[in-house]
Structure 1
Amino acid sequence: MRLSNKKIVVYLVSAALLLLLAFALYRFFFHGGKETQYLTVPVVVADIQDTVLASGSLEALQQVSVGAQASGQLKSLKVVLGQEVKKGQLVAEIDSLTQQNALQNAEFALMQVRAQLRSKQASLVQAQLNFKRQQRLLAGDAGSRESYETAEATLQATLADIDSLNAQIEQAKITVSTAMLNLGYTKITAPMDGKVVSIVTKEGQTVNSAQLAPTIIILAELKTMTVKALVSEADVIRVKPQQPVFFTILGNPDHRFHGKLRSVELAPDSIGNDTGDGKKKSDANAAPIYYNALFDIPNPDNKLRISMTAQVSIVLSEVKGALMIPSTALGERGKDGRYQVKVLETKDGKHSVATRQVRIGINNVRAQVLDGLKAGEKVILGEDSGTPQADTSTVMLD
């Protein structure tokens, strides 16, 4: 069976159309929309800061552990948790029976020595009279030298006994004073104004001052808090007193507390691990080195509390109304210190990519543009990955 020329032409045209359709579909699905797309962000005018970030914790400006210097049972506690106390206010009492007995014994011992002194003073008068009589008798050849020497020795011994008793009296006075002091230690008073932040020892417990001074309560001045920020050794050389600082707390991350750096400690806390000759103890897994940067914050409403975590930012420098781009837009840095930045330019409705040499100032997540760009120009962050990002736009390059 032979096909006519007309049918052959129809088949060829149909095959050509199918090929064209297949090619068009291939271009559409595999190459269509593959024009380069860029993520861009405009150059904006905003305030920018160069900061050192640090983690910190809050402490009371003043905090003291109120301990006992006397041993015995805690008879009564005069304060409750959270109570405001004044300096000198009675906060606790220890059973004072032992101390009272010790004071009485000391006073009785003092009285006894004083009585002995009075007796010796009476003996001294007798010894002086006897010595003078023997002295006169010896001068008139009416007495013996032996009697004279005996009277002289008795007088000197009595004087020595009186000196010894006077010394014993002073010693007994010290014993009485110490006993009175120990009795006073049974009444524990506040060493400063503050708030009771912890009660360590309960009523009825026995404390022993012969060991480490037992803590009864902990007082803290909370009207002003101190923030202790841990600054790494890489950043500490840029941190100085009086630099502005702010921090946030986990419970209120949108509110900034502002202050000024008071001091930067000269040595890390780990200096306590040093040996007496100034050498560090060996540590196979040496921990990173951090230095404490301290600053104070008013706390009139007591929102800030002891041991809260603080996210601290120490402001090294600040520029108002700076041209700014994300640091991720910066390309290679040249020998002259300038960075390459790709810019999307538009002319007559056509987009093109240009490379600019840009001088940068502060560079801390966001970069301050000193020259090379203008406000509103669009810098390229990269090619579109299909994932939307905040503050970016996608532009298709024809």
Structure 2
Amino acid sequence: MKKKPLRWLIAIALLVPAVWLIARLAFPPAPPHYLTAPVARMDLEETVLASGTLKPVKQVSVGAQVNGQLKSLKVKLGDRVSKGQLLAEIDPVLQQNELRKAEAGLARAEADRRAKAAQLVQYELALKRQKTMLVSDASSRADLETAQAQLDSTRAELAALAAQIRQATVDVDTAKANLGYTRIVAPMDGEIISVVTQEGQTVVSAQSAPTILIMANLDTMTIKAQVSEADVVRVKPGQPVYFTILGAPGKRFYSTLRAIEPAPESIGTESSQSTTGSTTTAVYYNGLFDVPNPNHVLKTSMTAQVSVVQGAAKQVLAVPVAALGKQEKDGRYAVRVLEQGKPQDRKVRIGLNDNVNAQVLAGLNEGDKVIVGDPAQLPVEKPSEVGF
């Protein structure tokens, strides 16, 4: 009776492999499924991305050079003005009084000079008379020397008065200029983009000229694009560039890169940062370019999403960047192509790369299916263990 269970165990042990083999032959496993993409023709563009700010090509802060109350403002925000047009007037009473005082000082100095000139003539005659009298022994040499000294002293005083007149003339010219500064005129053609000081306010120019208006020429805008230190080595003046603005993301504005500033904007704060111990991780260099703005669609301080074009190609063979494998020493990339359901290794040369698709220079043909993903290589998520 004990041999019967042993026979059953042997039979089961032989039956299980046989069943597995029959099932394997009758129902073979499905071939692996690969994610593929065809090698196709498309337009490619390799760019360096940057963020910039729009500024007028010419912007001037119009200020006051004299003290006083802003008597009248002749323009308002948004007005277009021409060079030399009157923008504002400062109460001129103080400057008029200074001019009168300077003119009075000049008149006094000129009167003193005329009086001293008349005295000089008198001393010249006295010296001449003393010389004649000395020849006839009618006068002493001491009187002659006194007359000569008076003449020389008067000539020196006349020279000092001439210097005073020149100084008084400068004072008059300065007073006239300050009186003219009470009339503030436009230094260029442009548009009023900001009114800083209102009528009735008092301006004081003791240390720096206070700003009354800000005007700019909006016909041409300058974009200052911040290029990261990782990309700035690839960016050069003369390269094509375009940008979009938030208000019109579908419209591109085209231009040409004019210059790359040789130092980052943060260079002025490096000393203070080293003192405080703080450091800046990101370094950006400004790329400058101009764009026409005839309809003034572009406004001051708008944000621009800038693309500096490194290269462009029309209807070239391209492959998804996800299909590229490891780069070899010779510069080629490893790619797997699906042929008759089986992956085959290829080596390809790549040209332009826009980080989504890459140009195929050699190694693939149009229509080849490259493997961009293998589900078998995806990580399997383990079920989370919940403890009680």
Q: What TM-score does the superposition give when structure 2 sets the normalisation length?
A: 0.86
CA distances 1:360-385 after superposition (whole Å, capped 9, x unpaired):
11223121111111112222211369
Say which SS state the counterpart of residue 367 (structure 1) adopts.
Answer: strand
Which structure 2 residue ranges, 5 or more long, are not aligned?
1-18, 377-388
Which amino acid in the other structure matches residue 352 of structure 1?
K
2:300: which partner in 1? 306
Q: Distance in 2 between matches of 1:86 and 1:33?
A: 84
Q: Distance in 1 between matches of 2:127 and 2:71?
A: 61
Superposed, which structure 2 residues align to 1:44-83 within 5 Å? 44-83=40-79
Q: Distance in 1 between matches of 2:218 and 2:359?
A: 40
- The correspondence for 2:358, drawn from 338, 344, 367, is 367
CA distances 1:245-303 after superposition (whole Å, capped 9, x unpaired):
11111111111111110111111112223559xx9766432241111101111111111
- The correspondence for 2:328, drawn from 331, 334, 338, is 334
1:155: which partner in 2? 151
Which amino acid in the other structure matches residue 322 of structure 1?
V
Q: Does 1:285 align with 2:276?
A: no
CA distances 1:153-180 after superposition (whole Å, capped 9, x unpaired):
2211211111111111001000001101
Which amino acid in the other structure matches residue 381 of structure 1?
V
Which structure 1 residue ranges, 5 or more long, are not aligned?
1-19, 25-30, 386-398
1:257: which partner in 2? 253
Structure 1's 253 and 211: CA in aligned 2 closer, same or farther, altered over 3 A? same
How far apart are 1:33 and its partner, in Å?
A: 9.7
1:377: which partner in 2? 368
1:358: which partner in 2? 348
Superposed, which structure 2 residues align to 1:77-116 within 5 Å? 77-116=73-112
Q: Does 1:228 align with 2:238?
A: no
Q: What TM-score does the superposition give when structure 1 sets the normalisation length?
A: 0.84
Q: Is the 8 A contact 2:46 2:352 kept in 1?
A: yes
2:8: which partner in 1? none
Q: Distance in 2 between matches of 1:312 and 1:384?
A: 38
Q: Is the 8 A contact 2:60 2:216 kept in 1?
A: yes
Q: Is the 8 A contact 2:44 2:353 kept in 1?
A: no
1:10: which partner in 2? none
Say which SS state the counterpart of residue 236 (structure 2) adopts.
Answer: coil
Superposed, which structure 2 residues align to 1:1-12 within 5 Å? none
How far apart are 1:327 and its partner, in Å?
A: 0.7
1:38: which partner in 2? 34
- The correspondence for 1:120, drawn from 116, 119, 124, is 116
The range that moved more, 76-85 or 373-382, is: 373-382
Aligned residues: 353
Superposed, which structure 2 residues align to 1:180-191 within 5 Å? 180-191=176-187
Q: Does 1:218 align with 2:208?
A: no
Say which SS state the counterpart of residue 37 (structure 1) adopts.
Answer: coil
How far apart are 1:32 and its partner, in Å?
A: 11
Q: Is the 8 A contact 1:273 1:281 kept in 2?
A: no
2:380: which partner in 1? none
Q: Distance in 1 between matches of 2:319 and 2:74?
A: 62
1:17: which partner in 2? none
Q: Is the 8 A contact 1:43 1:375 kept in 2?
A: yes
CA distances 1:329-376 after superposition (whole Å, capped 9, x unpaired):
111222332212122224xxxx33222211111223121111111112
1:5: which partner in 2? none
1:138: which partner in 2? 134
CA distances 1:4-33 after superposition (whole Å, capped 9, x unpaired):
xxxxxxxxxxxxxxxx9xxx9xxxxxx999
Q: Does 1:343 align with 2:326?
A: no
Identity over aligned pairs, percent: 55
Q: Is the 8 A contact 1:343 1:354 kept in 2?
A: yes
1:9: which partner in 2? none
Structure 1's 33 and 260: CA in aligned 2 closer, same or farther, altered over 3 A? farther
